[in-house]
Amino acid sequence: MASSTSLLASTLLLFVAVAGAAQTDPIVQAWPARAPVRDAALEARVEAALKTLTLRQKIGQMTQPEIRTITPDEVREYAIGTVQSGGGSWPGDDRGATPAQWRALSEQFQAAALQATPGIPLIWGVDAVHGHNNVRGATLFPHNIGLGATRDADLVRDIGRATARAVRATGLQWSFAPTLAVVQDVRWGRTYESFSVDPAIVRSLGRAEVEGLQEGMQDGHGVLATAKHFVADGGTLRGVDQGVSRTTPTELAQIHGAGHLGALDAGVLSVMVSFSSWTDSAGHVEHGKMHGNKTLLTEVLKQRLAFDGFIVSDWEGVGQVPGCIPEDCPAAINAGIDIIMVPFRWKAFIENTVREVEQGRIPMARIDDAVRRILRVKFSVGMTPRVPATVEAMQAPELARRAVRESLVLLKHKPGLLPLPRTAHVLVVGAAADSLAHQSGGWSVDWQDRDTTNADFPQGTTLLAALRQRLGTAQVVFDADGTQQDPARFDAVVAVLAEAPYAEGAGDIRINENLRHSLRYPQDLAVLQRVAGHGAPVVTLLYSGRPLYVNDLANRSDAFIAAWLPGTEGAGMADLLVAPAAGEPAWPGFTGRLPFPWPAGPCQFSSHEPKPWLPLGGGLSGKETRTNTRPLPDPPDPQPICPL
Pick from 60, 72, 81, 88: which binds ligand BGC (CB under 6 A)? Answer: 88
Identify the helix (H) or strand (E) that includes residue 271. strand 270-273
Of the two residues 176 and 490, which places its CB atom closer to ligand BGC in the complex?
176
Least Å from the CB of residue 233 to ligand BGC: 8
Helix axes 346-358, 55-62, angle to 10 degrees: 130
Q: Which amino acid is at 632?
A: L
Of the two residues 256 and 405, which places its CB atom closer to ligand BGC in the complex?
256
Of the two residues 193 and 280, which places its CB atom closer to ligand BGC in the complex?
193
Of the two residues 202 and 541, which places its CB atom closer to ligand BGC in the complex?
202
Single out the residue of 241, 330, 237, 247 nearest to residue 287, CA to CA.
Answer: 247
* Sign, Cα dihedral of 570, 575, 578, 581: positive
Least Å from the CB of residue 288 to ligand BGC: 18
Least Å from the CB of residue 241 to ligand BGC: 9
Of the two residues 88 and 597, which places its CB atom closer to ligand BGC in the complex?
88
Q: Can 351 be counted among the known catalytic residues?
A: no
Give the interface segment with ligand BGC, choosing from 86-94, 277-285, 490-498, 586-594 (CB under 6 A). 86-94
Q: Which residue is nearest to ligand BGC (CB)?
A: 86
Which positions ≥6 away from 392 have C-beta within 8 Å? none
Pick from 60, 65, 72, 87: which binds ligand BGC (CB under 6 A)? Answer: 87
Q: Which amino acid is at 12?
A: L
Of the two residues 129 and 331, which places its CB atom closer to ligand BGC in the complex?
129
Give the interface segment with ligand BGC, choosing from 82-90, 358-366, 529-537, 561-569 (CB under 6 A). 82-90
Torsion of CA 573, 577, 581, 587, to 10 degrees: 90
* Cis bond upstream, residue 415 (ω within 30): no
Pick from 76, 130, 187, 228: which binds ligand BGC (CB under 6 A)? Answer: 228
Least Å from the CB of residue 110 to ligand BGC: 21
CA distance from start to end of the chain:
63
HSE on the CB side for 84, CA within 13 Å? 27
Question: Could you give the string, one character per residue 175-204, with x where binding to ligand BGC holds by CB under 6 A and - elsewhere?
Answer: -x----------------------------
Selecting among 314, 316, 327, 499, the annotated active-site residue is 314
Of the two residues 506 and 511, which places its CB atom closer to ligand BGC in the complex?
506
Question: Could you give the string, one character per residue 108-127, with x where binding to ligand BGC holds by CB under 6 A and - elsewhere?
Answer: -------------------x
Of the two residues 150 and 270, which places its CB atom closer to ligand BGC in the complex?
270
Contacts to ligand BGC from residues 315-374, by CB under 6 A: 315
Largest Cα–Cα distance in the chain?
Answer: 96
Judged by DSSP in three states, 510 sits in coil
Least Å from the CB of residue 128 to ligand BGC: 10
Identify the helix (H) or strand (E) that includes residue 169. helix 153-169
Which positions ≥6 away from 126 have C-beta within 8 Å? 84, 85, 132, 134, 167, 172, 174, 175, 176
Give the interface segment with ligand BGC, choosing from 11-19, 83-91, 424-432, 556-564 (CB under 6 A). 83-91
Q: Does 86 bind ligand BGC (CB under 6 A)?
A: yes
Provide the H-helix boundaries in 497-548.
Answer: 517-520, 522-531
Q: Does 89 bind ligand BGC (CB under 6 A)?
A: yes
Selecting among 504, 508, 552, 569, the annotated active-site residue is 504
Contacts to ligand BGC from residues 6-65, by CB under 6 A: none
Q: Does 314 bind ligand BGC (CB under 6 A)?
A: yes
Instruction: Please work out the total of residues on this chain that contact ligand BGC, with binding judged by CB under 6 A.
Output: 11
Phi, psi (degrees; rounded to nearest 5) at 281:
-80, -15
Q: Does 478 bind ligand BGC (CB under 6 A)?
A: no
Phi, psi (degrees; rounded to nearest 5) at 347:
-65, -45
Q: Does 599 bind ligand BGC (CB under 6 A)?
A: no
Least Å from the CB of residue 314 to ligand BGC: 5
Whole-angstrom Cα distance, residue 237 to residue 188? Answer: 9
Give the interface segment with ligand BGC, choosing from 7-15, 80-88, 262-270, 548-556 (CB under 6 A). 80-88
Contact 92, 139 (CB under 8 A): no
Of the two residues 243 and 599, which places its CB atom closer to ligand BGC in the complex?
243
Identify the helix (H) or strand (E) that includes residue 224. none
Give the interface segment with ligand BGC, choosing from 81-89, 277-285, 382-390, 609-617 (CB under 6 A). 81-89
How does 254-281 read in b/e, with b if 16+ C-beta sit within 10 Å? bbbbbbbbbbbebbbbbbbbbbbbbbbe
Q: Does 447 bind ligand BGC (CB under 6 A)?
A: yes
Of the two residues 342 and 429, which places its CB atom closer to ligand BGC in the complex?
342
Pairing of strands 340-341, 63-64: parallel
DSSP codes of every residue in 238-254:
GG-TT-EEEE-HHHIII
Q: Can 513 be counted among the known catalytic residues?
A: no
Distances (CA, A) of 291 to 19, 320, 328, 338, 342: 21, 8, 13, 11, 13
Least Å from the CB of residue 272 to ligand BGC: 6
Burial class (CB in 10 A: 0-12, 13-18, 19+), 571: buried
Active site residues: 314, 504
Q: Which residues bind ligand BGC (CB under 6 A)?
A: 86-89, 127, 176, 228, 314-315, 447, 504
